[in-house]
Amino acid sequence: MILDSPRGIHVAIIMDGNGRWATAKGQLRTAGHIAGARTVKKIVEAAPDCGIGTLTLYAFSADNWRRPSREVGLLMRLFRRYLVSEVARCVTNGVRMRIIGRRDRIPAELLRAIVNAEQATRAGRTLDLRIAVDYSARDAIIRAAQAIDPVALSDPASARAEFAKVLAYVDHGIGESKDVDLLIRTGGEQRLSDFLLWECAYAELYFTRRMWPEFGPVDLSEAVQEFRSRERRFGTVPQAAAG
Ligand code: FPP
């Protein structure tokens, strides 16, 4: 069943800088991820007040499996802990949780927590929270290309919308596609790293040097304010120049 999405913009965040934040303080990288999980809670709580209806967080890319197994193990435990500990708060606050990305390589315990959190929060209408785990935009596009019926692409007027639907389905298990309005990346790097490549076609990009563990609600609000001050033209001309 597809229910209405919450109103508000779609913000996607590449949560980068946990490791550097920790090592700069003389701590293990894993301490940075633990601090990063605390930031996730604060940002999820602050998102609706910033006018955000959908928040997609890049928690673990398909390439992140190549990290040391100790770090990967800790991240999987952190994701599980987050889902288990936040589910009640999400129900109360109307947050619908969903995980996007592949599911076949995820540890069984985490998978159980995912299914439970998605089920328990499915009626949430204040914020759509999507957490990308074992995610690769390129792989998702390939899976959609393999799955789609070519007939669905035969009409140029509807081909993009049809493809987006299939992409959302193969990746999110829901036939509901959402373009990103604002993409934020913390940690100072300025790249997309295989995140929501299709959905970011017209996203406004916002890069900040702030490391993810120190990114807070004020930073989120500043990013959204900056987004609102930008003119989005989607390939057309400014209103004043039209005609
Ligand atoms: C990138 O920073 C961050 C990750 C690969 C993991 C993101 C995980 C969290 C924010 C913690 C928990 C998340 C949830 C959803 C509860 P990095 O480690 O690559 O940082 P670096 O570039 O400084 O090394």
- Single pTM value for the model: 0.94
What tens digit of pLDDT does each residue of 91-114 get? 999 999 999 999 999 999 999 999
Q: Residues with Cβ within 6 A of ligand 1?
A: 15-20, 29, 33, 36-37, 40, 57, 59-60, 64, 75, 78-79, 82, 131, 187, 212
Instruction: For the chain, give the percent of residues with pLDDT over 70.
Output: 93
Active site residue 93: no
Which CATH architecture describes the domain 9-135+179-228?
A: 3-Layer(aba) Sandwich (3.40)
Looking at 4, 18, 49, 64, which residue is catalytic?
Answer: 64
**Does 177 score more than 80 pLDDT?**
no
Instruction: Note the pLDDT of residue 178.
Output: 84
220 band by pLDDT with thresholds 50, 70 and 90:
very high
What tens digit of pLDDT does each residue of 17-36 get? 999 999 999 999 999 999 99
Instruction: Note the pLDDT of residue 2.
Output: 46
Q: Map out the domains of the chain as residue ranges.
A: 9-135+179-228
From the CA of 107, how far away is ligand 1's center (Å)? 18
From the CA of 78, how far away is ligand 1's center (Å)? 11
Read out DSSP for the chain?
---PPPSSEEEEEE---HHHHHHHTT--HHHHHHHHHHHHHHHHHHTGGGTEEEEEEEEEEGGGGGS-HHHHHHHHHHHHHHHHHHHHHHHHHTEEEEEES--TTS-HHHHHHHHHHHHHTTT--SEEEEEEEEE-HHHHHHHHHHHS-GGGGSSHHHHHHHHHHHHHHHHHSSS-----SEEEE-SS----TTSSTTTTTT-EEEE-SS-GGG--HHHHHHHHHHHHHSPP-TTS--GGG--
Active site residue 16: yes
**Does 243 score more than 80 pLDDT?**
no
**Does 176 score more than 90 pLDDT?**
no
